[in-house]
Amino acid sequence: MTDSLRALAQRRWRVAISLTVAMVAVYFGFITLIAFNKPLLGRLLAPGLSLGILLGAAVIVASWLLTAIYVRWANAVYDADLQRLRSTEPEDTA
């Protein structure tokens, strides 16, 4: 029983750290472009809409998407597994 708890903890950790790394990559990718390729971000995609402004908004949208992915996973998969563990192991010894 404890083994399945341990496995669930590890699965949760892997999901959490992967999504954190994705967030870090998105944001620091944006910052690195700002720092090292300013002309690229100044390019206009449409009148008034520079790539920089679009990517800035995209960072915010990416934050939303990543949180949505996590919450979906946690609600559908993690909670169900945790519930199963609880029902097979009702006694709490912690």
Partner 1 sequence: MIQTAPDTAIGQSNPVAIGFFFAFIGVTFAITYWAARRTRTTDQFYAAGRSISAGQNGWALAGDYMSAASFLGIAGLVSTTGFDGLIYSTGWLVGWPVVLFLIAEPLRNLGRYTFADVVALHRRQRPVRIAAAIGTLATVIFYLIAQMVGAGGLIKLMFGLSYEAAIVIVGSVMILYVLVGGMIATTWVQIVKAVLLLGGAFLLALLVLARFGMNPAALFAAAAERYGAGVLSPGQQVSNPLDAISLGMALMFGTAGLPHILMRFFTVPDAKAARTSVFYATGLIGTFYLLTFVLGFGAMVLVGPETIRAVDRGGNMAAPLLAEVLGGTPFLGFIAAVAFATILAVVAGLTLSGAAALSHDLWVNVVRGGHAGAEEELRIARAATVLLGIVAVALGITFKGQNVAFMVSLAFAIAASGNFPALCLAVFWRKATTTGLLASMVLGTVTTLVLIYLSPTIQIDILGRPAAWFPLKNPALITIPLSFVAGVIGSLATQKSARSELDSFPARERRMLRGEG
* Residue 87 found at the interface with partner 1 (CB under 8 A): no
Q: Which of 87, 90, 91, 94 binds partner 1 (CB under 8 A)?
A: 94
What character string, x for contact with partner 1 (CB under 8 A) and - otherwise, covers 13-52? x-xxx-xx--xx-xxx-xxx-xxx-xx-xx-x-xxxxx-x
Q: Is 44 helix (H, G, I), strand (E, B) or coil?
A: strand
- Measured CA to CA, the distance from residue 39 to residue 28 in angstroms comes to 18
| Closest distance to partner 1 from the beta carbon of 83 (Å) | 10
3-state helix, strand, coil in the chain (%, to 5): 85, 5, 10
